[in-house]
Structure 1
Protein backbone atom coordinates (compact mmCIF):
# COMPACT_ATOMS: atom_id res chain seq x y z
CA UNK A 1 0.00 0.00 0.00
CA UNK A 2 1.33 3.39 -0.96
CA UNK A 3 1.49 6.38 1.32
CA UNK A 4 -1.30 8.90 0.82
CA UNK A 5 -0.62 11.17 -2.13
CA UNK A 6 -2.11 14.63 -2.18
CA UNK A 7 -3.54 15.90 -5.44
CA UNK A 8 -5.23 19.23 -6.12
CA UNK A 9 -7.99 18.81 -3.59
CA UNK A 10 -8.36 15.02 -3.19
CA UNK A 11 -6.27 12.70 -1.05
CA UNK A 12 -5.86 9.15 -2.36
CA UNK A 13 -4.64 6.09 -0.51
CA UNK A 14 -3.94 3.16 -2.83
CA UNK A 15 -4.16 -0.45 -1.73
CA UNK A 16 -2.34 -3.28 -3.48
CA UNK A 17 -4.72 -5.78 -5.06
CA UNK A 18 -4.60 -9.23 -3.47
CA UNK A 19 -3.08 -11.82 -5.86
CA UNK A 20 -6.25 -13.93 -5.71
CA UNK A 21 -8.19 -11.01 -7.20
CA UNK A 22 -5.80 -10.42 -10.08
CA UNK A 23 -7.66 -10.09 -13.37
CA UNK A 24 -10.90 -9.20 -11.61
CA UNK A 25 -9.92 -6.12 -9.57
CA UNK A 26 -7.66 -3.50 -11.16
CA UNK A 27 -7.24 -1.32 -8.09
CA UNK A 28 -8.65 -0.17 -4.75
CA UNK A 29 -8.42 3.41 -3.52
CA UNK A 30 -9.40 5.23 -0.36
CA UNK A 31 -10.61 8.70 -1.33
CA UNK A 32 -11.20 11.85 0.67
CA UNK A 33 -11.88 15.41 -0.47
CA UNK A 34 -13.28 18.51 1.19
CA UNK A 35 -14.40 21.69 -0.52
CA UNK A 36 -16.47 24.69 0.43
CA UNK A 37 -17.30 25.21 -3.23
CA UNK A 38 -19.06 22.99 -5.72
CA UNK A 39 -16.53 20.65 -7.35
CA UNK A 40 -17.51 19.58 -10.87
CA UNK A 41 -15.65 16.91 -12.81
CA UNK A 42 -16.06 15.08 -16.08
CA UNK A 43 -15.17 11.39 -16.20
CA UNK A 44 -14.36 10.09 -19.66
CA UNK A 45 -15.33 6.64 -20.90
CA UNK A 46 -13.10 3.81 -19.76
CA UNK A 47 -12.87 0.05 -19.45
CA UNK A 48 -12.85 -0.24 -15.65
CA UNK A 49 -16.04 -0.49 -13.61
CA UNK A 50 -16.12 1.60 -10.40
CA UNK A 51 -17.77 0.25 -7.25
CA UNK A 52 -18.16 3.15 -4.79
CA UNK A 53 -18.58 2.49 -1.07
CA UNK A 54 -19.52 5.82 0.48
CA UNK A 55 -19.25 6.72 4.16
CA UNK A 56 -22.41 8.79 3.78
CA UNK A 57 -21.84 11.87 1.59
CA UNK A 58 -23.63 11.71 -1.74
CA UNK A 59 -22.44 12.51 -5.25
CA UNK A 60 -24.56 14.24 -7.87
CA UNK A 61 -24.35 12.80 -11.37
CA UNK A 62 -25.47 15.82 -13.35
CA UNK A 63 -25.08 14.49 -16.89
CA UNK A 64 -24.42 11.29 -18.84
CA UNK A 65 -23.71 11.34 -22.55
CA UNK A 66 -24.81 7.69 -22.70
CA UNK A 67 -26.82 5.53 -20.34
CA UNK A 68 -29.02 6.14 -17.31
CA UNK A 69 -28.32 7.18 -13.74
CA UNK A 70 -28.48 10.97 -13.57
CA UNK A 71 -29.29 11.92 -9.98
CA UNK A 72 -27.88 11.77 -6.47
CA UNK A 73 -26.01 8.65 -5.38
CA UNK A 74 -24.42 7.38 -2.18
CA UNK A 75 -22.83 3.97 -2.70
CA UNK A 76 -23.19 2.69 -6.26
CA UNK A 77 -21.78 0.75 -9.20
CA UNK A 78 -21.30 2.37 -12.62
CA UNK A 79 -21.42 -0.28 -15.33
CA UNK A 80 -19.42 -0.34 -18.55
CA UNK A 81 -20.31 3.08 -20.01
CA UNK A 82 -19.72 4.04 -23.67
CA UNK A 83 -19.75 7.75 -22.88
CA UNK A 84 -18.67 10.43 -20.43
CA UNK A 85 -20.22 11.52 -17.14
CA UNK A 86 -20.30 14.83 -15.25
CA UNK A 87 -20.41 14.81 -11.45
CA UNK A 88 -20.62 17.45 -8.74
CA UNK A 89 -20.44 17.71 -4.98
CA UNK A 90 -19.82 20.23 -2.22
CA UNK A 91 -18.67 19.65 1.33
CA UNK A 92 -16.93 16.28 1.72
CA UNK A 93 -16.49 13.02 -0.14
CA UNK A 94 -15.17 10.02 1.80
CA UNK A 95 -15.36 6.66 0.09
CA UNK A 96 -13.60 3.54 -1.10
CA UNK A 97 -13.34 3.11 -4.86
CA UNK A 98 -13.00 -0.46 -6.14
CA UNK A 99 -12.22 -0.69 -9.86
CA UNK A 100 -13.32 -3.97 -11.41
CA UNK A 101 -12.31 -5.28 -14.79
CA UNK A 102 -15.22 -6.24 -17.08
CA UNK A 103 -14.52 -9.89 -16.23
CA UNK A 104 -14.61 -9.04 -12.54
CA UNK A 105 -18.24 -7.97 -12.67
CA UNK A 106 -19.47 -11.47 -13.43
CA UNK A 107 -16.86 -13.17 -11.23
CA UNK A 108 -17.34 -11.04 -8.11
CA UNK A 109 -20.82 -9.54 -8.40
CA UNK A 110 -22.32 -12.68 -10.00
CA UNK A 111 -24.06 -10.46 -12.53
CA UNK A 112 -23.66 -10.53 -16.31
CA UNK A 113 -22.00 -7.34 -17.47
CA UNK A 114 -25.01 -6.56 -19.64
CA UNK A 115 -27.17 -5.98 -16.54
CA UNK A 116 -24.94 -3.11 -15.38
CA UNK A 117 -23.74 -1.66 -18.69
CA UNK A 118 -25.09 1.79 -19.60
CA UNK A 119 -26.35 2.21 -16.01
CA UNK A 120 -25.47 3.60 -12.59
CA UNK A 121 -26.98 1.21 -10.04
CA UNK A 122 -27.35 1.49 -6.26
CA UNK A 123 -24.85 -0.69 -4.43
CA UNK A 124 -27.65 -2.50 -2.58
CA UNK A 125 -29.04 -3.73 -5.90
CA UNK A 126 -25.76 -4.56 -7.65
CA UNK A 127 -23.76 -5.91 -4.69
CA UNK A 128 -26.07 -6.70 -1.75
CA UNK A 129 -23.20 -8.42 0.10
CA UNK A 130 -21.87 -4.87 0.60
CA UNK A 131 -25.02 -4.13 2.59
CA UNK A 132 -25.71 -1.68 5.38
CA UNK A 133 -24.13 -3.91 8.02
CA UNK A 134 -20.93 -4.29 6.02
CA UNK A 135 -20.70 -0.52 5.37
CA UNK A 136 -21.29 0.22 9.07
CA UNK A 137 -18.44 -2.13 10.02
CA UNK A 138 -16.21 -0.73 7.28
CA UNK A 139 -16.58 2.89 8.36
CA UNK A 140 -16.50 2.14 12.09
CA UNK A 141 -12.91 0.97 11.56
CA UNK A 142 -10.43 3.69 12.53
CA UNK A 143 -7.68 2.88 10.02
CA UNK A 144 -7.45 2.48 6.27
CA UNK A 145 -5.42 -0.68 6.80
CA UNK A 146 -8.34 -2.19 8.68
CA UNK A 147 -10.85 -1.09 6.05
CA UNK A 148 -8.78 -2.52 3.23
CA UNK A 149 -8.40 -5.81 5.12
CA UNK A 150 -12.19 -6.06 5.43
CA UNK A 151 -12.57 -5.40 1.72
CA UNK A 152 -10.00 -8.04 0.81
CA UNK A 153 -11.81 -10.66 2.89
CA UNK A 154 -15.19 -9.77 1.39
CA UNK A 155 -13.94 -9.77 -2.20
CA UNK A 156 -11.99 -13.01 -1.86
CA UNK A 157 -15.07 -14.67 -0.37
CA UNK A 158 -17.01 -13.64 -3.50
CA UNK A 159 -14.76 -15.83 -5.65
CA UNK A 160 -16.76 -18.81 -4.38
CA UNK A 161 -20.07 -17.27 -5.46
CA UNK A 162 -19.36 -15.68 -8.82
CA UNK A 163 -19.66 -16.99 -12.35
CA UNK A 164 -16.75 -17.76 -14.66
CA UNK A 165 -16.81 -16.14 -18.10
CA UNK A 166 -16.66 -18.35 -21.16
CA UNK A 167 -13.03 -19.12 -22.06
CA UNK A 168 -13.31 -17.53 -25.50
CA UNK A 169 -14.77 -14.35 -23.95
CA UNK A 170 -11.83 -14.21 -21.52
CA UNK A 171 -9.40 -14.75 -24.40
CA UNK A 172 -11.02 -12.10 -26.61
CA UNK A 173 -11.06 -9.53 -23.83
CA UNK A 174 -7.40 -10.21 -23.10
CA UNK A 175 -6.51 -9.71 -26.79
CA UNK A 176 -8.45 -6.44 -26.91
CA UNK A 177 -6.78 -5.26 -23.71
CA UNK A 178 -3.30 -6.43 -24.66
CA UNK A 179 -3.39 -4.75 -28.07
CA UNK A 180 -4.85 -1.51 -26.77
CA UNK A 181 -8.03 -2.04 -28.77
CA UNK A 182 -6.22 -2.45 -32.08
CA UNK A 183 -6.92 -6.14 -32.69
CA UNK A 184 -9.31 -6.73 -35.62
CA UNK A 185 -12.51 -8.11 -34.11
CA UNK A 186 -13.30 -10.16 -37.22
CA UNK A 187 -9.95 -11.93 -36.87
CA UNK A 188 -10.55 -12.63 -33.18
CA UNK A 189 -14.02 -14.00 -33.89
CA UNK A 190 -12.62 -16.30 -36.58
CA UNK A 191 -10.00 -17.63 -34.20
CA UNK A 192 -12.63 -18.59 -31.60
CA UNK A 193 -14.17 -21.06 -34.07
CA UNK A 194 -17.66 -19.77 -33.29
CA UNK A 195 -20.05 -17.73 -35.44
CA UNK A 196 -19.96 -13.97 -35.26
CA UNK A 197 -23.51 -13.92 -33.93
CA UNK A 198 -22.72 -16.34 -31.10
CA UNK A 199 -19.48 -14.58 -30.16
CA UNK A 200 -21.02 -11.11 -30.20
CA UNK A 201 -24.05 -12.22 -28.20
CA UNK A 202 -22.12 -13.98 -25.45
CA UNK A 203 -19.36 -11.36 -25.26
CA UNK A 204 -21.99 -8.62 -24.88
CA UNK A 205 -23.87 -10.61 -22.24
CA UNK A 206 -20.80 -11.22 -20.10
CA UNK A 207 -18.63 -8.12 -20.68
CA UNK A 208 -21.50 -5.64 -21.02
CA UNK A 209 -20.75 -4.10 -24.40
CA UNK A 210 -20.20 -5.65 -27.80
CA UNK A 211 -16.62 -6.47 -28.80
CA UNK A 212 -16.35 -3.64 -31.34
CA UNK A 213 -17.58 -0.96 -28.94
CA UNK A 214 -15.50 -2.32 -26.06
CA UNK A 215 -12.47 -2.29 -28.35
CA UNK A 216 -13.13 1.32 -29.35
CA UNK A 217 -13.15 2.35 -25.68
CA UNK A 218 -9.89 0.53 -24.93
CA UNK A 219 -8.28 2.10 -28.01
CA UNK A 220 -9.50 5.53 -26.89
CA UNK A 221 -7.97 4.99 -23.43
CA UNK A 222 -4.57 4.31 -24.94
CA UNK A 223 -4.79 7.03 -27.58
CA UNK A 224 -5.91 9.68 -25.10
CA UNK A 225 -2.95 8.82 -22.88
CA UNK A 226 -0.56 9.02 -25.84
CA UNK A 227 -1.97 12.41 -26.91
CA UNK A 228 -0.45 14.01 -23.84
CA UNK A 229 3.08 13.43 -25.15
CA UNK A 230 2.79 12.84 -28.91
CA UNK A 231 1.52 14.78 -31.96
CA UNK A 232 -2.07 14.13 -32.95
CA UNK A 233 -1.16 12.84 -36.40
CA UNK A 234 1.27 10.24 -35.05
CA UNK A 235 -1.24 9.06 -32.42
CA UNK A 236 -3.94 8.67 -35.07
CA UNK A 237 -1.60 6.61 -37.24
CA UNK A 238 -0.23 4.50 -34.37
CA UNK A 239 -3.66 3.50 -33.06
CA UNK A 240 -5.22 2.78 -36.42
CA UNK A 241 -7.57 5.72 -36.83
CA UNK A 242 -8.37 6.59 -40.43
CA UNK A 243 -7.08 10.14 -39.94
CA UNK A 244 -6.91 12.94 -37.38
CA UNK A 245 -10.59 13.75 -37.88
CA UNK A 246 -11.54 10.18 -36.99
CA UNK A 247 -9.48 10.42 -33.80
CA UNK A 248 -11.03 13.80 -32.97
CA UNK A 249 -14.56 12.35 -33.31
CA UNK A 250 -13.73 9.47 -30.98
CA UNK A 251 -12.18 11.85 -28.44
CA UNK A 252 -15.29 14.03 -28.55
CA UNK A 253 -17.61 11.03 -28.22
CA UNK A 254 -15.86 9.35 -25.30
CA UNK A 255 -14.61 12.40 -23.38
CA UNK A 256 -16.84 15.30 -24.40
CA UNK A 257 -13.73 17.32 -25.19
CA UNK A 258 -11.71 18.37 -28.21
CA UNK A 259 -8.26 16.93 -28.81
CA UNK A 260 -6.77 20.31 -27.88
CA UNK A 261 -8.67 20.34 -24.58
CA UNK A 262 -7.67 16.77 -23.81
CA UNK A 263 -4.00 17.56 -24.40
CA UNK A 264 -4.19 20.51 -22.01
CA UNK A 265 -5.63 18.76 -18.96
CA UNK A 266 -5.03 15.68 -16.83
CA UNK A 267 -8.26 13.75 -17.41
CA UNK A 268 -10.05 12.08 -14.51
CA UNK A 269 -9.57 8.35 -15.14
CA UNK A 270 -9.64 5.18 -13.03
CA UNK A 271 -6.07 4.44 -14.12
CA UNK A 272 -4.94 7.79 -12.71
CA UNK A 273 -6.77 7.08 -9.45
CA UNK A 274 -5.26 3.63 -8.92
CA UNK A 275 -1.84 4.72 -10.15
CA UNK A 276 -1.35 2.52 -13.18
CA UNK A 277 0.11 3.71 -16.44
CA UNK A 278 -1.69 3.20 -19.73
CA UNK A 279 1.24 2.11 -21.87
CA UNK A 280 1.44 1.80 -25.62
CA UNK A 281 0.21 -1.73 -26.18
CA UNK A 282 1.27 -4.35 -28.69
CA UNK A 283 -0.58 -3.74 -31.98
CA UNK A 284 -1.33 -7.40 -32.75
CA UNK A 285 -2.96 -10.19 -30.76
CA UNK A 286 -0.95 -13.04 -29.31
CA UNK A 287 -0.54 -16.08 -31.51
Structure 2
Protein backbone atom coordinates (compact mmCIF):
# COMPACT_ATOMS: atom_id res chain seq x y z
CA UNK A 1 0.00 0.00 0.00
CA UNK A 2 1.26 3.46 -0.88
CA UNK A 3 1.24 6.61 1.21
CA UNK A 4 -2.06 8.04 2.37
CA UNK A 5 -3.13 11.40 0.93
CA UNK A 6 -5.51 13.49 3.03
CA UNK A 7 -7.51 16.49 1.88
CA UNK A 8 -9.61 18.64 4.23
CA UNK A 9 -12.10 21.33 3.22
CA UNK A 10 -14.31 23.60 5.33
CA UNK A 11 -17.08 25.86 4.02
CA UNK A 12 -19.93 27.82 5.62
CA UNK A 13 -22.26 24.85 5.08
CA UNK A 14 -19.99 22.02 6.24
CA UNK A 15 -16.65 20.24 6.18
CA UNK A 16 -15.11 17.31 4.32
CA UNK A 17 -12.10 15.05 4.94
CA UNK A 18 -11.03 12.65 2.18
CA UNK A 19 -8.17 10.15 2.60
CA UNK A 20 -6.94 8.02 -0.31
CA UNK A 21 -4.27 5.49 -1.14
CA UNK A 22 -3.67 3.37 -4.22
CA UNK A 23 -2.55 -0.25 -4.35
CA UNK A 24 -0.06 -1.29 -6.99
CA UNK A 25 -1.45 -4.72 -7.88
CA UNK A 26 -4.20 -7.15 -6.97
CA UNK A 27 -7.98 -6.95 -6.87
CA UNK A 28 -8.08 -3.62 -5.00
CA UNK A 29 -7.31 -0.44 -6.94
CA UNK A 30 -7.81 2.16 -4.21
CA UNK A 31 -9.06 2.91 -0.71
CA UNK A 32 -10.93 6.15 -0.11
CA UNK A 33 -11.85 7.14 3.44
CA UNK A 34 -14.30 9.95 4.04
CA UNK A 35 -15.69 11.92 6.96
CA UNK A 36 -18.03 14.79 6.17
CA UNK A 37 -20.88 16.85 7.53
CA UNK A 38 -23.19 19.41 5.92
CA UNK A 39 -26.17 21.46 7.02
CA UNK A 40 -27.62 21.09 3.50
CA UNK A 41 -28.60 18.00 1.55
CA UNK A 42 -25.53 16.69 -0.31
CA UNK A 43 -26.24 15.05 -3.67
CA UNK A 44 -23.61 13.60 -6.00
CA UNK A 45 -24.01 11.97 -9.38
CA UNK A 46 -21.30 9.37 -9.78
CA UNK A 47 -20.40 8.36 -13.35
CA UNK A 48 -20.22 4.74 -14.39
CA UNK A 49 -16.73 3.28 -14.25
CA UNK A 50 -14.55 0.20 -14.54
CA UNK A 51 -14.15 -0.09 -10.76
CA UNK A 52 -16.71 -1.63 -8.40
CA UNK A 53 -17.18 0.38 -5.18
CA UNK A 54 -17.56 -1.46 -1.90
CA UNK A 55 -18.81 0.88 0.84
CA UNK A 56 -18.25 0.20 4.53
CA UNK A 57 -20.12 2.80 6.56
CA UNK A 58 -19.48 3.66 10.20
CA UNK A 59 -22.37 6.07 10.47
CA UNK A 60 -25.58 7.22 8.84
CA UNK A 61 -27.19 5.58 5.83
CA UNK A 62 -26.95 6.91 2.29
CA UNK A 63 -29.78 7.25 -0.21
CA UNK A 64 -28.85 5.68 -3.52
CA UNK A 65 -30.63 6.21 -6.84
CA UNK A 66 -29.31 3.40 -8.98
CA UNK A 67 -29.78 3.28 -12.76
CA UNK A 68 -32.49 0.62 -12.53
CA UNK A 69 -34.87 3.38 -11.35
CA UNK A 70 -34.92 2.21 -7.74
CA UNK A 71 -34.15 4.33 -4.69
CA UNK A 72 -32.63 2.57 -1.70
CA UNK A 73 -31.37 3.67 1.69
CA UNK A 74 -28.24 1.72 2.53
CA UNK A 75 -25.33 1.81 4.92
CA UNK A 76 -22.68 -0.69 3.78
CA UNK A 77 -23.02 -2.22 0.31
CA UNK A 78 -21.40 -3.28 -2.97
CA UNK A 79 -22.49 -1.36 -6.09
CA UNK A 80 -22.44 -3.76 -9.03
CA UNK A 81 -21.30 -2.75 -12.53
CA UNK A 82 -23.66 -0.73 -14.70
CA UNK A 83 -23.01 1.45 -17.75
CA UNK A 84 -24.99 4.40 -16.38
CA UNK A 85 -24.54 6.90 -13.51
CA UNK A 86 -25.81 6.60 -9.95
CA UNK A 87 -26.85 9.39 -7.58
CA UNK A 88 -26.13 9.43 -3.85
CA UNK A 89 -27.79 11.71 -1.32
CA UNK A 90 -27.51 12.33 2.39
CA UNK A 91 -28.45 14.83 5.04
CA UNK A 92 -26.19 15.37 8.05
CA UNK A 93 -22.96 13.40 7.94
CA UNK A 94 -21.08 10.47 6.47
CA UNK A 95 -18.17 8.44 7.83
CA UNK A 96 -16.77 5.37 6.15
CA UNK A 97 -14.46 3.77 3.59
CA UNK A 98 -14.92 3.11 -0.12
CA UNK A 99 -12.92 0.18 -1.51
CA UNK A 100 -12.58 0.38 -5.30
CA UNK A 101 -12.30 -3.13 -6.73
CA UNK A 102 -11.21 -3.96 -10.24
CA UNK A 103 -13.93 -5.84 -12.12
CA UNK A 104 -11.67 -8.89 -12.41
CA UNK A 105 -10.60 -8.52 -8.80
CA UNK A 106 -14.18 -8.27 -7.55
CA UNK A 107 -14.86 -11.80 -8.81
CA UNK A 108 -11.79 -13.09 -6.97
CA UNK A 109 -12.28 -11.13 -3.76
CA UNK A 110 -16.03 -11.56 -3.39
CA UNK A 111 -16.26 -15.01 -4.92
CA UNK A 112 -19.43 -13.84 -6.69
CA UNK A 113 -19.85 -13.66 -10.49
CA UNK A 114 -20.26 -10.11 -11.70
CA UNK A 115 -23.58 -11.02 -13.33
CA UNK A 116 -25.07 -11.57 -9.86
CA UNK A 117 -24.10 -8.05 -8.78
CA UNK A 118 -24.73 -6.10 -11.98
CA UNK A 119 -27.27 -3.24 -12.11
CA UNK A 120 -27.94 -3.22 -8.37
CA UNK A 121 -26.57 -2.38 -4.95
CA UNK A 122 -26.11 -5.44 -2.72
CA UNK A 123 -25.97 -5.03 1.10
CA UNK A 124 -22.52 -5.85 2.44
CA UNK A 125 -23.89 -8.55 4.71
CA UNK A 126 -25.16 -10.43 1.65
CA UNK A 127 -22.05 -9.92 -0.48
CA UNK A 128 -19.43 -10.50 2.26
CA UNK A 129 -21.17 -12.24 5.18
CA UNK A 130 -17.82 -13.53 6.44
CA UNK A 131 -16.74 -9.99 7.44
CA UNK A 132 -19.18 -10.07 10.35
CA UNK A 133 -21.22 -7.26 11.86
CA UNK A 134 -18.36 -6.06 14.09
CA UNK A 135 -15.85 -5.41 11.30
CA UNK A 136 -17.10 -1.88 10.65
CA UNK A 137 -16.70 -1.12 14.35
CA UNK A 138 -13.10 -2.36 14.25
CA UNK A 139 -12.36 -0.07 11.33
CA UNK A 140 -14.06 2.91 12.92
CA UNK A 141 -12.11 2.48 16.16
CA UNK A 142 -8.72 2.61 14.39
CA UNK A 143 -6.85 5.81 15.18
CA UNK A 144 -5.70 6.76 11.67
CA UNK A 145 -6.76 6.25 8.08
CA UNK A 146 -3.51 4.37 7.44
CA UNK A 147 -4.43 1.86 10.15
CA UNK A 148 -7.91 1.42 8.68
CA UNK A 149 -6.54 0.86 5.19
CA UNK A 150 -3.94 -1.64 6.43
CA UNK A 151 -6.57 -3.65 8.29
CA UNK A 152 -8.80 -3.63 5.21
CA UNK A 153 -5.98 -4.68 2.90
CA UNK A 154 -4.89 -7.61 5.07
CA UNK A 155 -8.45 -8.81 5.70
CA UNK A 156 -9.67 -8.61 2.12
CA UNK A 157 -6.55 -9.96 0.40
CA UNK A 158 -6.32 -12.89 2.82
CA UNK A 159 -9.85 -13.84 1.82
CA UNK A 160 -9.17 -13.34 -1.89
CA UNK A 161 -6.25 -15.77 -1.73
CA UNK A 162 -8.68 -18.61 -1.05
CA UNK A 163 -11.10 -17.80 -3.89
CA UNK A 164 -10.86 -19.04 -7.50
CA UNK A 165 -9.05 -17.01 -10.13
CA UNK A 166 -11.02 -15.56 -13.05
CA UNK A 167 -11.16 -17.57 -16.26
CA UNK A 168 -7.76 -16.99 -18.01
CA UNK A 169 -9.56 -16.26 -21.29
CA UNK A 170 -11.64 -13.56 -19.60
CA UNK A 171 -8.60 -12.10 -17.85
CA UNK A 172 -6.75 -11.90 -21.17
CA UNK A 173 -9.70 -10.28 -22.93
CA UNK A 174 -10.20 -7.74 -20.14
CA UNK A 175 -6.51 -6.79 -20.09
CA UNK A 176 -6.51 -6.32 -23.88
CA UNK A 177 -9.52 -4.02 -23.64
CA UNK A 178 -7.96 -2.16 -20.71
CA UNK A 179 -4.60 -1.72 -22.48
CA UNK A 180 -6.28 -0.18 -25.52
CA UNK A 181 -8.73 1.95 -23.50
CA UNK A 182 -11.60 -0.02 -24.98
CA UNK A 183 -10.60 0.59 -28.60
CA UNK A 184 -9.52 -2.95 -29.51
CA UNK A 185 -11.79 -4.75 -31.94
CA UNK A 186 -13.91 -7.18 -29.94
CA UNK A 187 -14.47 -9.34 -33.02
CA UNK A 188 -10.70 -9.63 -33.49
CA UNK A 189 -10.12 -10.46 -29.83
CA UNK A 190 -12.85 -13.09 -29.85
CA UNK A 191 -11.35 -14.64 -32.99
CA UNK A 192 -7.98 -14.89 -31.23
CA UNK A 193 -9.55 -16.97 -28.44
CA UNK A 194 -10.66 -19.61 -30.93
CA UNK A 195 -14.10 -19.74 -29.33
CA UNK A 196 -17.47 -18.61 -30.59
CA UNK A 197 -18.62 -15.02 -30.07
CA UNK A 198 -21.59 -16.29 -28.07
CA UNK A 199 -19.40 -18.40 -25.77
CA UNK A 200 -16.93 -15.59 -25.08
CA UNK A 201 -19.66 -13.00 -24.52
CA UNK A 202 -21.54 -15.28 -22.14
CA UNK A 203 -18.44 -16.14 -20.09
CA UNK A 204 -17.26 -12.51 -20.01
CA UNK A 205 -20.66 -11.20 -18.94
CA UNK A 206 -21.00 -13.85 -16.24
CA UNK A 207 -17.68 -12.97 -14.60
CA UNK A 208 -17.42 -9.22 -15.26
CA UNK A 209 -21.10 -8.29 -15.11
CA UNK A 210 -21.02 -6.41 -18.43
CA UNK A 211 -20.79 -7.53 -22.03
CA UNK A 212 -17.43 -7.00 -23.76
CA UNK A 213 -19.00 -4.19 -25.80
CA UNK A 214 -20.33 -2.42 -22.68
CA UNK A 215 -17.00 -2.85 -20.88
CA UNK A 216 -15.11 -1.42 -23.85
CA UNK A 217 -17.46 1.57 -23.95
CA UNK A 218 -16.83 2.25 -20.24
CA UNK A 219 -13.05 2.04 -20.64
CA UNK A 220 -13.14 4.45 -23.58
CA UNK A 221 -15.35 6.85 -21.60
CA UNK A 222 -12.88 6.84 -18.69
CA UNK A 223 -10.04 7.55 -21.11
CA UNK A 224 -12.02 10.46 -22.54
CA UNK A 225 -12.82 11.77 -19.04
CA UNK A 226 -9.09 12.08 -18.41
CA UNK A 227 -8.40 13.54 -21.85
CA UNK A 228 -10.92 16.40 -21.61
CA UNK A 229 -9.06 17.71 -18.56
CA UNK A 230 -6.11 18.61 -20.79
CA UNK A 231 -7.50 18.87 -24.34
CA UNK A 232 -10.31 20.78 -26.06
CA UNK A 233 -13.40 18.61 -26.42
CA UNK A 234 -13.11 18.16 -30.18
CA UNK A 235 -9.44 17.12 -29.88
CA UNK A 236 -10.20 14.80 -26.96
CA UNK A 237 -12.96 13.12 -28.97
CA UNK A 238 -10.63 12.27 -31.85
CA UNK A 239 -7.75 11.28 -29.55
CA UNK A 240 -9.91 8.78 -27.66
CA UNK A 241 -11.62 7.17 -30.64
CA UNK A 242 -14.95 8.97 -30.93
CA UNK A 243 -16.22 10.05 -34.34
CA UNK A 244 -16.54 13.68 -33.28
CA UNK A 245 -17.41 15.95 -30.35
CA UNK A 246 -21.13 15.15 -30.64
CA UNK A 247 -20.39 11.43 -30.33
CA UNK A 248 -18.26 12.11 -27.23
CA UNK A 249 -21.05 14.20 -25.71
CA UNK A 250 -23.66 11.48 -26.25
CA UNK A 251 -21.46 8.89 -24.57
CA UNK A 252 -20.77 11.25 -21.66
CA UNK A 253 -24.47 11.75 -21.09
CA UNK A 254 -24.99 7.97 -21.20
CA UNK A 255 -22.22 7.14 -18.73
CA UNK A 256 -22.03 10.26 -16.55
CA UNK A 257 -25.54 11.63 -16.83
CA UNK A 258 -24.32 15.02 -18.02
CA UNK A 259 -22.45 16.59 -20.98
CA UNK A 260 -18.64 16.73 -20.64
CA UNK A 261 -18.42 20.50 -20.07
CA UNK A 262 -20.97 20.32 -17.26
CA UNK A 263 -19.20 17.32 -15.76
CA UNK A 264 -15.86 19.15 -15.81
CA UNK A 265 -17.33 22.21 -14.11
CA UNK A 266 -19.03 20.31 -11.31
CA UNK A 267 -17.12 17.12 -10.67
CA UNK A 268 -16.43 16.21 -7.04
CA UNK A 269 -12.91 15.10 -6.20
CA UNK A 270 -13.92 11.54 -5.30
CA UNK A 271 -12.04 10.18 -8.33
CA UNK A 272 -8.61 11.74 -8.20
CA UNK A 273 -6.22 11.75 -5.28
CA UNK A 274 -6.07 15.02 -3.33
CA UNK A 275 -2.74 16.84 -3.71
CA UNK A 276 -1.66 16.95 -0.06
CA UNK A 277 -0.06 13.95 1.67
CA UNK A 278 -0.20 12.80 5.27
CA UNK A 279 0.95 9.33 6.29
Q: TM-score, normalised by structure 1?
A: 0.87
Distance 2:53 2:159 in 1: 17
Alignment of 1:43 with 2:62, yes or no, is: no
Q: Is 1:25 aligned with 2:12? A: no
Please give the root-mean-square deviation of Cα atoms over the aligned residues, in Å: 1.9
Matched, 1:191 2:192: yes
Distance 1:208 1:274 in 2: 30
Query: SS at the partner of 1:182?
Result: coil
Please, what TM-score do these two structures have when normalized by structure 2? Answer: 0.90
Give unmatched runs, 5+ long, in structure 1: 276-287
Q: Map 1:61-210 onto structure 2 (within 5 A).
A: 61=64, 63-64=65-66, 66-67=67-68, 70-210=71-211
Q: Which of 53, 58, 81 pairs up with 2:56? A: 53
> Shift of residue 175 of structure 1?
1.2
* CA shift digits 1:25-52 (9 cap, x unpaired): 1001211111111111110111100000
Match of 1:10 among 8, 16, 19: 16
Shift of 1:273: 5.3
Structure 2 residue matching 1:229: 3-state secondary structure = coil
Distance 2:61 2:45 in 1: 17
Higher strand residue share: 2
| 1:198-253 deviation line (CA, Å, top 9, x unaligned) | 11000000011000001101101111221222122222222222222221111111
SS state of the match for residue 129, structure 2? coil
The DSSP-based 3-state class of the residue aligned with 2:162 is coil
| SS of equivalent residue, structure 2 residue 84 | coil
Structure-1 separation of matches of 2:48 and 2:5? 28
Structure 2, unaligned runs of 5 or more = none
Distance 2:159 2:33 in 1: 21
Paired with 2:269 and 2:20, the residues of 1 have a C-alpha distance of 16
The 3-state SS of whatever aligns with 1:153 is helix
For residues 114 and 274 of structure 1, do their structure 2 counterparts lie closer, same or farther at Cα, with a shift above 3 Å needed? farther
Seen in structure 2, the aligned counterparts of structure 1 residues 268 and 219 have a Cα distance that, compared at 3 Å, is farther
3-state SS in 1 of match to 2:59: coil
1:49 and 1:119, CA in 2 relative to 1: closer, same or farther beyond 3 A?
same
SS class of match (2:42): strand
Q: Contact between 2:5 and 2:21, CA under 8 Å: does it hold in 1?
A: no
CA distance in 2, matches of 1:91, 1:77: 22
Which residue does 1:278 correspond to in 2?
A: none
The answer as to whether partners of 2:53 and 2:98 remain within 8 angstroms in 1 is yes
Determine helix, strand or coil for the equivalent of 1:49: strand
The number of residue pairs the alignment matches comes to 269
Contact 1:36 1:91 in 2 (8 A): yes
